[in-house]
Amino acid sequence: MIPHIAFARSDVCQHFTAASSCQPLLPLLEQNQQKLTLLDRVFADSQTYKLQIIFTRIESPMIDGELPKLHYYHYGVQPDRYFYPASTVKLPLVALAMQWLNEQTAAGITLDTIMLTDALHPSQSSAYTDVTSESGLPSVGHYIKKILLVSDNDSSNRLYELLGQQYINQQLQAKGLTSTVINHRLSVPFTDDDNRFFNPIRFIDPVGKTLLAIPQRQVAVSYRNTGQPKLGLGYFQHGQLVNQPMDFTLKNRQSLLDLDGVVKRIVMPELFPEEQRFNITEPQRQFILRYMRMLPRQSEYPKYSEEQYTDTYVKYLLKGDEQLRLPEYIHYHNKNGQAYGHVIDAAFINDTKYDVSYFLSAIIYTNANQILNDDIYETETLGQPFLRELGHLLYQQELDAQQATNDTNNK
């Protein structure tokens, strides 16, 4: 039995759009009386685990232009509470790269146009080939595929270099994603100064003609987190333990509300005012959705080994079978993240067989010793299993509710 926790109504409800109702999540979870060890453990100490959850039940689909009826359930959601967003920042980069392409009408650049990245700044690297693509050449579209299929870091960094900090952050602010800051590449040891330089990039046609040449750019002032957020009791730097909290002022930020909102802007853009949507075409939106849903084993270019990249490799909110395969009738659109002990997933899950669909976004922090950069986290022993247990419980409840509705209608 999940432990009962008393709580006051949260003003987080004001952030939700098209909500028919907004209420705490725990009473919904407590409807299930089975013993769920990890849920018991985490909810009993949710402050330590910095747990935040947003569950959005879809009561009815959108019909004749009317918005669907959405019911929001929340737990621990605090937009101002910092957590490291890890790879989840790649999803807004994907959407903004699509939008940027739309703005290059004169150059005639598409998803498949060859994109060559040069290097001028000492820390930069070039990219002239991509052996995982059918053509052997890089493009925005192929980078997006790798990001959504296996959360490829280099592909994300290439889109960051293309767009630059100023475009990224100004566009996110304008779309109402005000608790998001993207100010660095991922998994490379760049300084703040390095991250404010953006590679020169060329788009060329198949015979080598330059369609668009973008020079190296630089922003004078970095986009920083206000409040100087800090995590942990200590951290390792250059192999030495530093006995003080780690400063995340110059690290990326994305609240769970913003991440949940990015997923919803892609899946159901009609929920948002036009100025808060990504300026992408319907074919582009379908491209994103296709690769958010696609499993690594289903991809031809790039090709991935199922042994290394299981169905649940970047999908944490459902368990899969003994081989970690998800049923073909479950369409799981998501973006996950995992770093510094944080385990995150934000998804739209659509069971096409039983007509069940909902949104679920969650973050858990698993770092018992409170030391960062020591590679001693409980992400695989607690974080991922917790999200699978939570996701499976909510999926089963939605499945049971749908079955009860069908039984009633069939009487």
Residue 5: strand pairing partners? none
End-to-end CA distance of the chain: 33
Residue 260: strand pairing partners? none
Is residue 279 classed as helix, strand or coil in its secondary structure? coil
Tokens 């929001």, located at residue:
72
Judge contact between 198 and 218, C-beta under 8 A.
yes
Alpha-carbon 299 to chain mean position: 20
Give the Cα separation of 276 and 172 in Å (integer): 9
- Band (pLDDT 50/70/90 cuts) for residue 3 is very low
Pairing of strands 114-117, 201-204: antiparallel
Residue 359: strand pairing partners? 56, 348
Pairing of strands 197-198, 217-218: antiparallel
Residue 93: strand pairing partners? none
pLDDT tens digit string along 140-169? 999 999 999 999 999 999 999 999 999 999
Residue 333: strand pairing partners? 348
Q: Which bin fits 11, alpha (ψ -120 to 50), beta or left (φ > 0)?
A: alpha
Q: Is the per-residue pLDDT at 332 higher than 60? A: yes
pLDDT tens digit string along 30-42? 876 566 789 999 9
CA nearest neighbour of 279 among 98, 89, 140: 98
pLDDT of residue 19: 66
What six digits make up the tokens of 14? 């004001």
Judge contact between 160 and 168, C-beta under 8 A.
yes
pLDDT tens digit string along 363-378? 999 999 999 999 999 9
Judge contact between 365 and 82, C-beta under 8 A.
no
- Band (pLDDT 50/70/90 cuts) for residue 326 is very high
Give the Cα separation of 203 and 211 in Å (integer): 5
Q: Is the per-residue pLDDT at 9 higher than 70? A: no
Give the Cα separation of 236 and 307 in Å (integer): 32
Residue 45, classified by CB atoms within 10 Å of its CB into exposed (0-12), middle (13-18) or buried (19+), is exposed
Alpha-carbon 210 to chain mean position: 33
| Full 3-state SS string of 184-213 | CCCCCCCCHHHHCEECCEEEECCCCCEEEE
Q: In what order do the strands lie in the sheet with 371-372?
A: 240-242, 234-237, 371-372
- Band (pLDDT 50/70/90 cuts) for residue 404 is confident
Rg, the chain, Cα only: 21
- Band (pLDDT 50/70/90 cuts) for residue 103 is very high
The DSSP line for 96-130 is HHHHHHHT-GGGT--TTSEEEE---STT---B---
What six digits make up the tokens of 328? 């073909």
pLDDT of residue 51: 98
pLDDT of residue 16: 83
The pTM of the full predicted model, rounded to 2 decimals, is 0.95
Q: How far is CA 201 from CA 114, 151, 212, 227, in A?
A: 10, 22, 8, 34
Pairing of strands 246-247, 342-351: unpaired
Bond before 302 cis per omega within 30 degrees:
yes
